[in-house]
Chains A and B, each alone.
Chain A
Amino acid sequence: MPVLYALIVATLFPFALGPEDALLQRIAGGVVLVTVLLAMLLALDAMFRSDIEDGSLEQLVLAPQPLALMLGMKILAHWFTTALPLIVIAPLLAGMLHLPVQVMGVLMLALLLATPMLSLLGAVLVALTAGTRRSGMLLALMLLPLCVPVVIFAAGAVAAAQQGLPWVAPIAWLGAALVLALVLAPLACAAALRIALDA
């Protein structure tokens, strides 16, 4: 479903901005990143919903294994089912927008580092809203400040590669941030879930 959504959004851009190659080529990297981000946001909302409805989330909280570890696995599963398909079709989207082939590698690398970040950060916020009824718009509002740096560095790497500049620095920053998030986000997610479920 997120894949279809991303495809539709990416298709709409040339209609809105005109089909000139030069323009599309310039914005292709950013458009693909933002499209992937929006598609992930669409799927984030449902991350814990079915678990809350059938009560299995409470079982997870009560289980003897550390909650952070299990949430980490849940986030990993979410990343496999949502982000990985998006990464697979990203070259197709980028190709539709005429992104040069030599930049494609950098785009894929940026997506590979940025999407787990978004899954991890998003999971913390989804956990916070777990006790509320409607959370779609609220989730977008809360996620925006957190994903600004991710978008800046990921898009910065693609733009630098497109201009033939060295692109390692922003990628390295993304990698560093990912390592940090990988350690801290499951813990924060567990704490947030305990608050939201009042456990």
Chain B
Amino acid sequence: MSKWIPLWLHKLGSPPIFYRFAGTLRPWFLALALIAGAIGLYGGLVLAPADYQQGDAYRIIFIHVPSAWMGLFIYGVMAVASFIALVWRIKLAEAVAMESAPIGAAFTFITLVTGSLWGKPMWGTWWTWDARLTSELVLLFLYLGVIGLYHAFEDRRQGARAAAFLAIIGIINVPIVHFSVNWWNTLHQGSTVRILGPSKISMDMLWPLLTMMVATKLYYVASLFGRVRADLLELEGGKDWVRRIATGEQATGEQA
């Protein structure tokens, strides 16, 4: 029991096995993400009551808050994968780290856009130099820096390792930026949902929010698997297992 788990993980690190594993799981994750997203959005947009102060405008949190969580969560995943990639030089970890970056950047961008859409009626401005907004923007720049550095190298694996190093520098930087801009200027409301202690949000609103959080996580995994699969095919192009997939798919395509 205790022996086969490390063995299984070890095997999973090999590109062909991960390719098949991710291919099998990806449709399930995608389907679950869509179902959870549909339930969460229905619950959030239709079932949940309007806010006593903000009216219906608050409903943007069902997109905004899960995206913001994902922006940070994916950065964490990217940094951990980067660390693994740098220390043990595992090809799969490099692919995971580098393919996470565009997804994380997209979530961060969605957070910024939905936030400013909400800010216009609520704060009366599209953008303000508030601490949280600024740190979110800096997070987006960190993502873009990682993506840019990865693509600046001609050799992809070398680029991945340089960008992984940048991701690790970035994760040291995130809390520093967060605290320094907090000290500088803040307008954004504090956290409402807490893991420790009671949340300051009604149950009717909380469950769609948490469902959306699950949906975004599942979507991330599905998207990551798809991207990593494509990346592995490209990285390993010319190897035997890729050739077999390419010719095998062609053969079945001709039959059909």
Residues on A lying within 8 angstroms of B by beta carbon are 124-125, 128-129, 131-135, 138, 141-142, 144-146, 148-149, 152-153, 156, 188, 191-192, 195-196, 198
Total number of B residues with any Cβ neighbor in A under 8 Å? 27
Q: What residues of A have a CB within 8 angstroms of the CB of B148 in the complex?
A: 138, 141-142
A128 contacts B144, C-beta separation under 8 Å: no
Q: Which residue of A lies closest to B172 (CB)?
A: A184
Footprint of A on B, CB under 8 Å?
A: 86, 134, 138-139, 141-142, 144-145, 148-149, 152-153, 155, 158, 161-162, 165-166, 169-170, 173, 176-177, 180-181, 183-184
User: Which residues in A have their C-beta under 8 angstroms from that of B152?
Assistant: 129, 132-135, 138
Main SS class of interface, A: helix
Q: Which A residues touch B149, using CB under 8 A?
A: 128-129, 132, 138, 142
A198-B169 CB under 8 A given contacts A134-B152, A138-B149: no
Show 6 residue pairs from A and B whose CB-CB distance is below 8 angstroms, ordered by the A residue: A125-B166, A138-B145, A145-B138, A145-B142, A146-B173, A148-B134
A139 and B132 alpha carbons, distance in the complex (Å): 24
| Chain B nearest CB, measured from A16 CB (Å) | 20
Closest Cβ of chain B to A63, distance in Å, is: 22
Is chain B's binding surface mostly helix, strand, loop or mixed? helix
* Smallest beta-carbon distance B116→chain A, Å: 20
Establish whether residues A132 and B153, one from each chain, have CB atoms under 8 Å apart when the complex forms.
yes
Q: What 4 additional pairs, Cβ within 8 angstroms, besides A125-B166, A129-B149, A135-B152?
A: A131-B158, A138-B145, A145-B142, A192-B162
CB distance from A113 to the nearest CB of B (A): 15
- For B142, the closest partner residue in chain A by CB is A145
Closest A residue to B135 by beta carbon equals: A148
Q: For residue B144, which residues in chain A have a CB less than 8 angstroms away from its CB? A: 141
Closest 7 CB pairs of A and B: A149-B180, A142-B145, A132-B152, A145-B138, A138-B148, A145-B142, A152-B180
Known: A135-B152, A198-B158. A145 touches B173 (CB 8 A): yes
- A192 to B139: give the CA distance in the assembly, Å: 21
| B86 nearest in chain A by CB position | A195
Task: For the complex formed, measure the closest distance between the CB of A171 and the CB atoms of chain B, giving whole angstroms.
Answer: 14
A188 to B165, CA, bound (A): 9
Residue of A nearest to B139 (CB): A145
Residue of A nearest to B168 (CB): A188
Which residue in A142, A153, A188 is a CB contact (below 8 Å) of B180? A153
Let me know if A145 and B162 touch, CB within 8 A. Answer: no
User: A145 contacts which chain B residues (CB < 8 A)?
Assistant: 138-139, 141-142, 145, 170, 173, 177
Q: A145-B142, A145-B170, A195-B158 are in contact. Are A131 and B165 (CB under 8 A)?
A: no
For B181, give its contact among A129, A132, A152 (CB under 8 Å). A152
User: Cβ of A196: which chain B residues have Cβ within 8 Å of it?
Assistant: 158, 162
Measured between beta carbons, the chain A residues less than 8 angstroms from B170 are 145
- Chain A residues near B139: list those with CB within 8 A: 145
On whether the beta carbons of A148 and B162 are closer than 8 Å, the reply is no
B169 touching A188, Cβ below 8 Å: yes
Shortest Cβ distance from residue A29 to the other chain B in the assembled complex, whole angstroms: 15
Question: Once bound together, how far apart are the Cα atoms of A191 and B153, in whole Å?
Answer: 17
Docked Cα-Cα span, A125 to B148, in Å, equals 13
